[in-house]
Amino acid sequence: MNAKVEATCSQAMVYARLRGQSVATVEHLLLALLADREVRKILQKVGGNFDQIQERVTKTLNDNIVTNVKDNEVLTIVPSEEFRSVLQRAIEHVASCNRDLDNVSIFAEIL
């Protein structure tokens, strides 16, 4: 896994922690991916509305993901099964094409 992908996965964990959520979901991963310049270029090329996607993902996280934090508790953040599955599919896909894993490949698996 390259440094950019690792940083994106780490940022997804940070997003979960900031929301007091102990599980990083595909939605957290998607928010982290939306910060990547290449992902944003692809999104723009296909006519995606960045602001609308970010708003809807944030709303989904706020409305549907349980907050687990208690007073001053330090959470251990773990990726959800779906988060791991997206990464695994992306790894398998790029391996079959003799390519390196990157954020765009992960984004494609979410789509």
| Cα 90 from Cα 102, distance rounded (Å) | 9
pLDDT in tens, the chain (111 residues): 789 999 999 999 999 988 888 899 999 999 999 999 999 999 999 998 888 999 999 999 888 876 766 666 667 899 999 999 999 999 999 999 999 999 999 999 998
Instruction: Supply the pLDDT for residue 69.
Output: 64
Instruction: Supply the pLDDT for residue 26.
Output: 96
DSSP string, 1-52: --HHHHHHHHHHHHHHHHTT-SEE-HHHHHHHHTTSHHHHHHHHHTT--HHH
Q: pTM for the whole thing?
A: 0.89
Taking residue 4's Cβ as centre, other Cβ atoms within 10 Å add up to: 13
